[in-house]
Amino acid sequence: MAPKREQKKRLGKKHRQASTRPKLGKTAPRATATTGAVSPKKRKEIAAKKAAATKAAKTPTRSPEKERHVVISPRDASGEQRGHASERQAPPRVRAIKKPLDPDAAEKREWREAEALATELTLVADRHHEPTRLPLVAICGRPNVGKSTLFNRLTQTRRSIVGDEPGITRDRIYGEVEWAGRDVRLVDTGGVIPDDEALIPAEIFRQAKVGLEEADVIIMVVDGRTELAAPDIELARLLLRGGKPIFLAVNKMDTPELLAGAENFRRLGFRNVVPISAEHAAGIGDLLDEVWAALPPEFVAEEPEEAMEGFEEEFEEDMDGGGDPLPGAQDSPDEEAKPGRRLRSHGEHVSRETKIAIIGRPNVGKSTLLNALTESDRAIVSPIAGTTRDAVDEVVTREGHDFRFIDTAGIRRKGKTKLLAEKLSVIMSRKHLEAADVALLVIDAAEGVAAADANIGGYAHESGRSVIIIVNKWDLMTEVGPDGKRLLDGKPPADQKVYEQQVRDSLKYLDYAPLLFVSASESQGIEQVFKKVELVARERRKRVSTGSMNRFLDKIDFQRASVPMAKRVRIYYMTQAAVAPPTFVLFTDRDVKLHFSYERFLANEIRDTFKFIGSPIWFKVKARNKKKKEE
């Protein structure tokens, strides 16, 4: 028989618990319980604590350098403190960390960097001189030699986008420079590669040739830290054939040791060679002295008289009707009439220049529309989406009034913008929109209204810009085939009324915006654009007297407004506090925010009586007895 197993004595519950205690004594605390040895309630608490600890461990608490997984040594090889001149010249030592970077965090950081750069950039110039008044100096060169940096340095602005990526500047960018008591216009051209047959480089070269033909003096920029390249030699040959004064600016001469290398570039055949550093402003004065000496003699012409057609009638209309030229000056205290938002309440109604921003998705025809409006080839046009990066502006004078059209870069979603230059272009497009008076929202007729179009229109609506909806490429929807009944693709021609209703249904918040059907490539409907812009700009700056507003208020039947009773307010009187956009202050019995249905009803009633075509209407509520309650 097999031997019996030795039976162990079973211990009771008390003894089993005692055996798990530490040997320090009975008073010592027990070990931390695991989730398997506790009740279900306790398990949830422990799991929540673990999740909070994990989240806290992942939260970045380090410096921006360490967040980028780069450690910068505080001292250089010689042991000197950071900030010393020797260390500023020596590159910092970096050590890459193997931990992978979170793509979402990197994307957010790039957008923050782009927004920080956008705050330093300057919008289009407010002044405009006729091309025949001032001499023109053109800056040219191959890509990534520092042309835009030199342009920004000379104009003392951040007008052109600057980055390490070559080929950022594509269109011509104009500015003004004052030196030695004389003003000169300056044009920044894109990087020129004469032998490149690709579409974008060829268009850049064509735009640069236009600027070079207009210029009186040319500044060619080369990179002094590199050897001469084939595009430099080819461009130098083209410039020498023109016979214009040419100055060679050898850029990136940041240290005195590099200055001797500038003489090597005399092989290009230029007599005037000036070493400079556009980033550090070294040698800029010497360059300007030589360029100014080569300018044509200054021509002084008589100042033209400003033709303000319609201004007298507009002023008399503001003063007529028993109203005040400045609403709120007599009917209400000034402190009560001041709106909380940043408004344009002074000087807008006497402005001679109207800024019009052309906005929309990429590749909807914004640059083509600018060329059609200005009757020139001002902007580069290509089927490649995202061609425009810098905002291109051009002034058109019609009947004594200046229209400044600004072609902005296509606004796209954040997830579809990869390069820093593209992110910066999107941010600057919104900034130019906020600085404009009227926005032309361009829609591709063949593609219809997309979600991106609605978002871009929302930017214009929320910023208080007047809006005109432009349905471009309408010729593609109406060209019929040989049978005279169908398009070349087999579909029937589109009807304007049906298409307009579809656009209105998709953009209901822009029901006040006029809608035009144009074909920018065929220059169809361009004259209607000017008429609508002039009308919308005039309506945007229109002011209604307080007396007229109160008489209008007495005629409104507020019972027709579909507003809950709890959200209704009693309006004692209202006054227009500002123009561009028209803003009205309502003095009510309660200090509550107006219901959106109430705002829409009131805005529609105002439009039926006073129009305000194409402009959003803002309201601000002021409680009449609020001040008494506070006292």
Give residues with Cβ within 8 angstroms of 527, minimum separation 6. Answer: none
Q: What does pTM read for this prediction?
A: 0.65
Please indicate if the annotation marks 251 as binding a ligand: yes
Pairing of β 392-398 and β 353-360: unpaired
Per-residue confidence (pLDDT) for residue 332, from 0 to 100: 39
Please indicate if the annotation marks 143 as binding a ligand: yes
Please indicate if the annotation marks 252 as binding a ligand: yes
Question: Could you tell me where the beta strands, DSSP code E, fall in 456-550?
Answer: 466-472, 515-517
**Residue that the structure tokens 């208080």 belong to:** 464
C-alpha distances in Å from residue 513, one per residue of 354, 399, 465, 522, 616: 17, 24, 11, 24, 9
Please indicate if the annotation marks 190 as binding a ligand: yes
Please indicate if the annotation marks 472 as binding a ligand: yes
Residue 379 identity (one-letter amino acid)? A
Number of H helices, E strands in the chain: 20, 17
Domain 353-539 sits in CATH at 3.40.50.300
Give residues with Cβ within 8 angstroms of 578, minimum separation 6. Answer: 339, 343, 344, 345
Please indicate if the annotation marks 191 as binding a ligand: yes
All residue ranges of the chain with pLDDT < 70 are 1-38, 58-104, 107, 110-111, 113-132, 158-171, 193-204, 299-352, 378-390, 414-422, 480-486, 488-490, 625-631
What is 361-423 written as a DSSP string? STTSSHHHHHHHHHTS--S---SSTT---S-EEEEEEETTEEEEEEEPPPP--GGG--SHHHH
- The 3-state secondary structure of 200-249 reads HHHHHHHHHHHHHHHCCEEEEEEECCCCCCHHHHHHHHHHHHHCCCEEEE
Please indicate if the annotation marks 226 as binding a ligand: no
Please indicate if the annotation marks 473 as binding a ligand: yes
Rounded distance, CA 588 to CA 199, Å? 61
Contact 353, 406 (CB under 8 A): no
pLDDT in tens, 14-71: 555 544 444 555 555 555 545 455 677 788 888 888 888 887 776 555 444 344 443 3
Please indicate if the annotation marks 475 as binding a ligand: yes
136-158+171-294 and 353-539: identical CATH topology: yes
Give residues with Cβ within 8 angstroms of 569, minimum separation 6. Answer: 586, 588, 589, 590, 592, 594, 598, 621
Question: What does the longest C-alpha to C-alpha distance in the chain come to?
Answer: 132
Give residues with Cβ within 8 angstroms of 625, minimum separation 6. Answer: 589
Does the bond joining 482 to the residue before it have cis omega, within 30 degrees of 0? no
Q: Where are the domains of the chain?
A: 136-158+171-294, 353-539, 546-623
Please indicate if the annotation marks 179 as binding a ligand: no
Please indicate if the annotation marks 184 as binding a ligand: no
- Please check whether the domain covering 136-158+171-294 is classified as CATH 3.90.1150.10: no
Please indicate if the annotation marks 148 as binding a ligand: yes
Contact 403, 311 (CB under 8 A): no
Per-residue confidence (pLDDT) for residue 420, from 0 to 100: 62
Per-residue confidence (pLDDT) for residue 227, from 0 to 100: 87
Residue 427 identity (one-letter amino acid)? I
Please indicate if the annotation marks 366 as binding a ligand: yes
Tell me the two tokens of residue 521: 């490539």
Please indicate if the annotation marks 192 as binding a ligand: yes
Please indicate if the annotation marks 362 as binding a ligand: yes
Contact 253, 284 (CB under 8 A): no
CA torsion 316-318-323-324 (nearest 10°) is: -100
What is 110-152 written as a DSSP string? HHHHHHHHHHHS--S-S----TTTS-EEEEE-STTSSHHHHHH
Which residues make beta-bridge pairs with 587?
Answer: 573, 622
Q: Please tell me whether residue 13 adopts helix, strand or coil conformation.
A: helix
Per-residue confidence (pLDDT) for residue 568, from 0 to 100: 80
Please indicate if the annotation marks 145 as binding a ligand: yes
Please indicate if the annotation marks 254 as binding a ligand: yes
Categorise residue 146: left if φ over 0, alpha if ψ from -120 to 50, beta otherwise: left
Go through the chain and tell me how many residues it has.
631
Please indicate if the annotation marks 243 as binding a ligand: no
Which residues make beta-bridge pairs with 401?
Answer: 398
Angle at alpha carbon of residue 175, lines to 173 and 181, rounded to 5°: 155
Rounded distance, CA 165 to CA 167, Å? 7
Please indicate if the annotation marks 396 as binding a ligand: no
Closest CA to 250 of 269, 266, 234, 239: 266
CATH class of 546-623: alpha beta
- Centre a 10 Å sphere on the Cβ of residue 559 and count the other Cβ atoms it contains: 7
Angle at alpha carbon of residue 130, lines to 127 and 136, rounded to 5°: 95
Contact 567, 598 (CB under 8 A): yes
